[in-house]
Amino acid sequence: MVDTSAAQAAEAAAEAVAATDPAVTAEIGVIGGSGFYSFLDDVTEVTVRTPYGAPSDSLFVGELAGRRVAFLPRHGRGHSVPPHRINYRANLWALRAVGVRQVMGPCAVGGLQAEYGPGTLLVPDQLVDRTKSRAQTFFDGEVLADGNVPNVVHMTFADPYCPTGRAVALAAARGRDWEPVDGGTMVVIEGPRFSTRAESRWHAAQGWSVVGMTGHPEAVLARELGLCYTSMSLVTDLDAGAETGEGVSHEEVLRVFGQNVDRLREVLFDAVAALPKTEDRACLCVRAHEGWDLGIELP
Ligand SMILES: [Zn+2]
């Protein structure tokens, strides 16, 4: 008896990759909740399969201020995928597969310093990875479902965020009279639980600014694909080490996010409209692959 299951799986994966509708393209990606696109007209839902598996959800592609934008619900619709189980590789690959080259990543974070209270918008310029179980690279030298084998590469990641995207996001916030915090360090924890007080005090004592659960490996995977990535971090609570109450609750996070989602969307959309055209990008992200033989074709 011949075991054909592996071959069939590879064939199915290759077919699924090829099935991406070539007519639906986008230049800018937004990884965030349905609150960001649910009211847009003429949104096309596109299912994309990748050599790294399935993304969190379909892409929702539409037009915004004359730009083609693909929205991807990071946790899937209905918030069904916890941070540590998000297929970050598939999410970024899927965006690139429809043409996206610049990604905005709005997210909810906890403030680690007393001055970064709920409602603060912070555009970080550094990150610290404290995650534990996540695939952090496309280039791990293993055979992909489509039969290709990526080489091992080591990306430069000293500056994890796109400087152009950061400047655009900051200007967009100021344009809406929402003075943002320019720079700071996001520490990304594994979750899904929130930090203990000891962990939180330690994070704060390092001088780090905010804590989140999804900012990594999103940023590094974008860099590996030569995509620009910008985090727009909305503080929904003071983290356990910076407050004196009962600690962070999910209800509180949702409440504050709900209060700010409208203006965050306004700033996000202004930023999307102001991003450079794909061919005009002149940032370090574009040069990520210089000197490397990736071993695989990027979509
Ligand atoms: Zn860039």
- CATH number, residue 26: 3.40.50.1580
CA of 39 to the centre of ligand 1 (A): 28
Return the structure tokens found at 278.
Answer: 């794909």
CA of 51 to the centre of ligand 1 (A): 24
CA of 122 to the centre of ligand 1 (A): 18
Could you list the pLDDT tens digit for every one of the 299 residues in the chain?
Answer: 344 454 454 455 444 444 456 568 999 999 987 678 777 778 999 999 999 999 999 999 999 989 999 999 999 988 889 999 999 999 999 999 999 999 999 999 999 999 999 999 999 999 999 999 999 999 988 888 888 899 999 989 999 999 999 999 999 999 999 999 999 999 999 999 999 999 999 999 999 999 999 999 999 999 999 999 999 999 999 987 777 677 778 888 888 888 899 999 999 999 999 999 999 999 999 999 988 999 898 99
Domain annotation covers residue 298: no
DSSP string, 40-57: -SSPEEE---BTTB--SS
Q: Is 239 annotated as a binding residue?
A: yes
237 is catalytic: yes
Domain annotation covers residue 251: yes
Domain annotation covers residue 151: yes
Q: Which domain holds residue 33?
A: 5-287
> Who's near 187: CB < 8 A, 6+ residues apart?
112, 127, 128, 130, 203, 206, 208, 210, 211, 212
Domain count, the chain: 1
Domain annotation covers residue 63: yes
CA of 128 to the centre of ligand 1 (A): 20
The residue among 64, 68, 58, 53 whose CA lies nearest residue 23 is 68
The residue among 86, 193, 187, 185 whose CA lies nearest residue 130 is 187
239 is catalytic: yes
Domain annotation covers residue 230: yes
Domain annotation covers residue 297: no
Q: Is 34 annotated as a binding residue?
A: yes
Domain annotation covers residue 293: no
> Of 140, 237, 262, 270, which is the active-site residue?
237
Within 10 angstroms of residue 106's Cβ, the number of other Cβ atoms is 25
> Of 129, 146, 239, 270, which is the active-site residue?
239
Domain annotation covers residue 60: yes
Q: Is 238 annotated as a binding residue?
A: yes
CA of 155 to the centre of ligand 1 (A): 14
